[in-house]
A and B are shown apart, each in its own frame.
Chain A
Amino acid sequence: MPPRANLRAIALHAALILGAAALAVPIWLAFVAATRASADFVAGDVGWLPGPHGFANFWTVLAAGDSADGLPPAWPMLLTTLVVALLIALGKIAVSLPAAFAVTYFRFPFRSLAFWTIFLTLMLPVEVRIVPTFQVVADLGLLNSWAGLSLPLIASATATFLFRQTFMSVPDELTEAARIDAAGPLRFFFDVLLPLSRTNVAALFVILFIYGWNQYLWPLMVTTEPRFYTIVVGIQRLALAADEGTAVWHYVMATAILALVPPVAVVVGMRKLFVRGLVETEK
């Protein structure tokens, strides 16, 4: 490689690494804060390097809690968040797969009506219909319940659309071969369509898991019992306390790290599936 091209490559990588580092700065500083003691914040010398209290802080936040500052242990919240994320991801897939199969592989009365009804939900994020949805869930007596937490978030068509797209790309000849092989629609669905869509289901699962894990507004509204608090909601209650002057920023940041590590780990660990799922859902 000629030296000039070499230099250019080095500059390119340097710029990229610098950019990636800049993107990570907020999380690094949050991590540094999570390793400091309360006194460091009062004294105003938290700085850019981690302190010695990391283990203690994370242990306090995760398992013990701190009753003096009204801080419950985080692990039940993490567990709740996990359950909510799984309910939303699996629920959405369970509802969307058959629906996508129905609108793709059958002609039935009111098919277009059904399709457009589902399609409409694409246009309305839960945030827009939040107040009436809350009232409906309250009327159904679903406040403070797993169903109330997850069902309204399942009612959206993104997954149905992705699966419809996946199914549309399955060659018709496979369906014909299956029909000649005496496979009825359900057998075809389980024996052929589902195995062929495995990767797309997994990719969508990753996306939906993160979507469910990161839900904020809805869990905030429908839960008033601590056992239904998700970590993302819990951290906000904590942050408000810290912002009002209680010196618990180290605990808040430790909780923030705990809240972001699982979804980040999922994205990094399943980067390929995640990228595929994301790019294809939005296509």
Chain B
Amino acid sequence: MAGVTLRGVKKRYPGGFEAIKGIDLDVPDGDLCVFVGPSGCGKSTLLRIVAGLETASEGTVAIGGRDVGALGPAERDVAMVFQNYALYPHMSVFDNMAYGLRNRGAARPEIEARVAEAAAMLDLSALLARKPRELSGGQRQRVAMGRAIVRKPALFLFDEPLSNLDAKLRARMRVEIRALQRRLGTTAIHVTHDQLEAMTMADTLVVLNAGRVEQVGKPADVYARPANRFVAGFLGSPEMNFLDGEAGPDGRIDFGALGSLSAGAGARAPVSRKVVAGIRPENLAPAEGDGPDRLSLTVDFVEELGAARLVYASREGRRVVVHTAAHGGWAPGAPLALTAAAGDVRLFDPQGGAALG
């Protein structure tokens, strides 16, 4: 059992490219920490630095309070699940899972007991004699998990382990991995580019962009109070609506011809400051009555999702999308008045994108 501490970690490649630009992070013991970000943000590099597969150019990595900077990947007591699983194609499922134990000199009965235990946990007991090519994608994925858990390591490292599965299986494995990690109580770092996967699995969410940490926190907090425009836009689908506006008196944000909305008490800006207002599609609703907090637009088209629908509306080239469960008369071309609760209107600096207030 061990937490992970990163201090001032940087990674520069020989060509001068800086993939990691200085990261400080504490992953508490037993936590499932998810690194999420667009491709090229450095999340996999950071994971590989923790694994010992790459060395940091600067900074320290500690696992369970022990500085592991000088240790090879085998000495760090970590187990990793790779994106393409990296199963040894010529070995049986049993041998794949036993290989790391054998190399560490475990006794035969212990190896058998541990593999059997892991196999039972992952529903692989009947497949132990098979070769990886005789398994389905989901089964391979479970073998890769099994190879990690038989070792009973101090830390799991998951490098996009679900990205090669189809959507349905991915949803199931999210739940299974989450449950497994909780049951074993082992600290885990999970890397993904999929924000839904990140939101659903994480105890701690770490949003990375261009080699830096943008925000760390519980998924719900990060979602509700994004630290900046990048995080706000990256989490959530469809993406948060961003509208350029100007702060008026009483926390009112003026969007010109579109109308105006009130921003919450936590998101105040000085009068006549230019701001970018961010409103999530599910926080927009048809305006009832005649209040001042309204945006006047025209419906462009509607995407039917079954349980809900996405309404695209615009005015003068500025577009918003609304995620709503309501069945309304959303006819294309019809006028649409929208409103949002003051607390759901986030404000960002047009330069730099930092959250205001």
A residues lining the B interface (CB < 8 Å): 171, 173-174, 176-183, 187, 191-192, 195-196, 198
Contacts and interface: CB of A to CB of B under 8 A. Distances in A.
Ranked nearest first, the 4 interchain pairs of A and B with the lowest CB-CB distance are A181-B100, A173-B86, A182-B74, A182-B103
B55 to A, nearest CB: 13
A195 B96 CA distance: 14
Contact of A179 (B53, B83, B87, B89): B53
Contact of A176 (B86, B88, B100): B86
B74 A176 contact: no
B51 interface: yes
Nearest to A170: B89
B73 A171 contact: no
B301 interface: no
Contacts of A178: 88, 99
B99 A191 contact: yes
B84 A176 contact: no
11 contacts: A171-B84, A171-B86, A173-B82, A177-B82, A177-B87, A178-B99, A180-B73, A181-B103, A181-B147, A192-B88, A196-B90
A174 B88 contact: yes
Contacts of A192: 88, 90
Contacts of B99: 178, 181, 183, 191
B40 interface: no
A113 to B, nearest CB: 20
B168 interface: no
Given A173-B86, A196-B89, A196-B90, A180 B103 contact: no
A176 B73 contact: yes
Given A177-B82, A196-B89, 9 more contacts: A171-B86, A173-B86, A176-B53, A176-B86, A179-B74, A181-B100, A182-B103, A187-B103, A196-B90
Nearest to B90: A195
Contacts of A179: 52-53, 72-74
B103 A183 contact: yes
A183 B100 CA distance: 8
Contacts of B82: 173, 176-177
Contacts of A182: 74, 100, 103-104
A181 B148 CA distance: 9
Interface residues of B, number: 23
Contact of A174 (B78, B86, B104): B86
A180 B74 contact: yes
Interface of B: 51-53, 72-74, 78-80, 82-90, 99-100, 103-104, 147
A180 B101 CA distance: 11
A198 B90 CA distance: 10
A174 B83 CA distance: 11
Contacts of B83: 173
Contacts of B103: 181-183, 187
Contacts of B52: 179
Contacts, number: 57
Contacts of A171: 84, 86
Nearest to A198: B90
Nearest to B148: A180
B189 to A, nearest CB: 14
A181 B86 contact: no
Nearest to B98: A181
Contact of A177 (B86, B90, B104): B86
Contacts of A187: 103
B175 to A, nearest CB: 25
Contacts of B104: 182
A187 B102 CA distance: 11
Contacts of B86: 171, 173-174, 176-177
Nearest to B75: A182
A74 to B, nearest CB: 42
B100 A180 contact: yes
Nearest to B81: A177
A94 B90 CA distance: 22
A251 B51 CA distance: 70
A173 B90 CA distance: 15
Contacts of A196: 89-90
A253 to B, nearest CB: 46
A165 to B, nearest CB: 18
Most buried by B among A178, A180, A181, A183: A180
Most chain-A CB neighbours within 10 Å: which of B52, B85, B100?
Answer: B100
Nearest to A196: B90
B88 A180 contact: no
B92 to A, nearest CB: 12
Nearest to A176: B53
Nearest to B79: A180
Nearest to A192: B88
Contacts of B89: 196
B84 A173 contact: yes
Contacts of B51: 176, 180
A98 B78 CA distance: 30
Contacts of B87: 177
**In this complex, which of A171, A173, A182 has the most chain B Cβ atoms within 10 angstroms of its Cβ?**
A182
A41 B87 CA distance: 66
A180 B85 CA distance: 13
Contacts of A198: 90
The interface centre, meaning the residue of A174, A181, A192, A198 with most chain B CB atoms within 10 A of its CB, is: A181
A198 B82 CA distance: 24
Nearest to B104: A182
A172 to B, nearest CB: 9
A171 B52 CA distance: 18
B174 to A, nearest CB: 22
B268 to A, nearest CB: 50
A58 B275 CA distance: 99
